[in-house]
């Protein structure tokens, strides 16, 4: 089976590429390198021992997309490409709508034209309304609260509408919780430009002295230690969720939604303390004001993915911290 990974040089796409190649899938990658580096392609070769075909294509350019599909003869697409910074999306909503939604419409047009009928889409837990009680279930209340989250919600709806017009089309929506960590080789991992917005790259860079101190945003939340609780999931487990979905896609029908999480919440302080326990360099931290928009606690119900896809996470919080640390040490 030949699988196209859009945005496949990014954090989640690159880890998924490794797991799919290891499992024997024929993987090809397209990316416009907006938030990734071409060096990742060589890292993939070092890890898998295989050359991966790469298309430098912008999904907003329909002509380029069409050319790639004409020669690609793909059987399935895993659609990672997109912009993902929540804060930036509130300042540049049109860019987010144009890139994420416009790009997805181009992708679906090409899939329709070239009769590619299997799609896995990277969605997010941020499509859920804060009215849900954890664990979040797939048929819970939807209600994204920022433009980024709304692009995910709208794309899910667009895919559903398209699936209703094509009985051969199968879509798997994967709603990720909080992926962290890196591949055990230390060659690929999360490598944001500039000052990280997310917790784990902030922790690793602080521990290694690239940043001074970690600010923990709030310790007065309604949780046992006062810091927020999230469902942190190891990136390699998350990547394997895509493999499970792809393995099962033939047996699925129409539009399907699965959470990818551990089903367990860890507090921010628990993550920091675990990091400091298992890694040689320690993170200095202080408690500061809450960050606008953060919820006190949410985590996934992971039952549906386990029952229907056979997906169960394997890695521990220690594995997540150690692998992230190892990647940051290698990352000059």
Distances (CA, A) of 37 to 7, 65, 126, 140, 261: 11, 20, 26, 37, 27
Please give the Cα distance from 30 to 17 (Å, whole number).
12
Name the residue number minimizing CB distance to ligand NAD.
10
Please give the Cα distance from 53 to 95 (Å, whole number).
28
The per-residue DSSP string of 67-136 comes to: HHHHHH--SEEEE--S---HHHHHH-HHHHIIIIIIHHHHHHHHHHHTT--EEEEEEEGGGB-TTS-SSB
Active-site residue, selected from the candidate residues 11, 55, 96, 148: 148
Please give the Cα distance from 224 to 220 (Å, whole number).
10
Residue 197's binding partner out of ligand UDP, ligand NAD, none, with CB under 5 to 8 Å set by partner kind:
ligand UDP
Compute how many residues bind ligand NAD; rule: CB under 6 A: 26
Residue 9's binding partner out of ligand UDP, ligand NAD, none, with CB under 5 to 8 Å set by partner kind:
ligand NAD
Could you say whether residue 198 binds ligand UDP (CB under 6 A)?
yes
Could you say whether residue 36 binds ligand NAD (CB under 6 A)?
yes
Could you say whether residue 284 binds ligand UDP (CB under 6 A)?
no
Looking at the Cβ atoms of 288 and 316, the one nearer to ligand UDP is 288
Looking at the Cβ atoms of 91 and 282, the one nearer to ligand NAD is 91
Residue 217's binding partner out of ligand NAD, ligand UDP, none, with CB under 5 to 8 Å set by partner kind:
ligand UDP
Residue 228's binding partner out of ligand NAD, ligand UDP, none, with CB under 5 to 8 Å set by partner kind:
ligand UDP
Among 228, 260, 279, 320, binds ligand UDP (CB under 6 A): 228
Active site residue 136: no
Could you say whether residue 268 binds ligand UDP (CB under 6 A)?
yes
Could you say whether residue 90 binds ligand UDP (CB under 6 A)?
no
Please give the Cα distance from 122 to 141 (Å, whole number).
19
Among 164, 291, 314, 330, binds ligand UDP (CB under 6 A): 291
Q: What are phi and psi of 296, to 5 degrees?
A: -65, -40
Among 74, 96, 169, 176, binds ligand NAD (CB under 6 A): 176
- For the chain, the residue count is 332
Bond from prior residue into 135 cis (ω within 30 degrees of 0) = yes
Could you say whether residue 60 binds ligand NAD (CB under 6 A)?
yes
Looking at the Cβ atoms of 198 and 215, the one nearer to ligand NAD is 198
Interacting positions 152-191 with ligand UDP (CB under 6 A): 178
Strand stretches in the chain, DSSP E: 2-6, 26-31, 53-56, 76-79, 118-124, 170-176, 178-180, 214-217, 229-230, 232-234, 255-260, 266-267, 285-288
From the CB of 192, what's the least distance to ligand NAD, in Å? 8
Please give the Cα distance from 175 to 154 (Å, whole number).
14
Looking at the Cβ atoms of 132 and 198, the one nearer to ligand UDP is 198
Show which residues are catalytic. Answer: 148
User: Contact residues for ligand NAD (CB under 6 A)?
Assistant: 7, 9-13, 31-36, 58-60, 80-84, 99, 103, 122, 124, 176, 179
């Amino acid at each position: 089976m030949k699988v196209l990974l859009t945005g496949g040089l990014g954090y989640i796409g690159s880890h998924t590429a490794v797991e799919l190649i290891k499992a024997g899938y024929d993987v090809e990658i397209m990316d416009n390198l907006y938030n990734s580096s071409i060096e990742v392609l060589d890292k993939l070769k070092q890890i898998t021992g295989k050359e991966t075909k790469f298309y430098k294509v912008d999904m907003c350019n329909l002509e380029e997309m069409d050319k790639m599909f004409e020669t690609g003869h793909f059987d399935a697409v895993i659609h990672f490409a997109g912009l993902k910074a929540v804060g930036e999306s509130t300042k540049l909503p049109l860019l987010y709508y144009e890139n994420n939604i416009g790009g997805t419409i181009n992708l679906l047009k090409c899939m329709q034209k070239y009769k590619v009928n299997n799609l896995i889409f990277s969605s997010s837990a941020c499509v859920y309304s804060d009215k849900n009680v954890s664990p979040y279930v797939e048929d819970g209340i939807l209600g994204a609260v920022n433009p980024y989250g709304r692009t995910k919600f709208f794309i899910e709806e667009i895919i559903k509408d398209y699936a209703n017009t094509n009985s051969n089309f199968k879509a798997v929506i994967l709603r990720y919780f909080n992926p962290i960590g890196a591949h055990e080789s230390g060659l690929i991992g999360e490598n944001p430009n500039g000052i990280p917005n997310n917790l784990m790259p902030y922790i690793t860079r602080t521990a290694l002295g690239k940043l001074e101190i970690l600010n923990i945003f709030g310790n007065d939340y309604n949780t046992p230690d006062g810091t927020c609780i999230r469902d942190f999931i190891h990136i390699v487990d998350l990547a394997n969720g895509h493999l499970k979905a792809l393995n099962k896609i033939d047996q699925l029908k129409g539009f399907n939604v699965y959470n990818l999480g551990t089903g367990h919440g860890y507090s921010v302080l628990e993550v920091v303390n675990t990091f400091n326990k298992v890694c040689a360099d320690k993170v200095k931290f202080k408690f500061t004001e809450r960050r606008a928009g953060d919820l006190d606690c949410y985590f996934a119900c992971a039952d549906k993915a386990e029952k229907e896809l056979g997906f169960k996470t394997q890695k521990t919080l220690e594995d997540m911290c150690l692998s992230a640390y190892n990647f940051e040490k290698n990352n000059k």
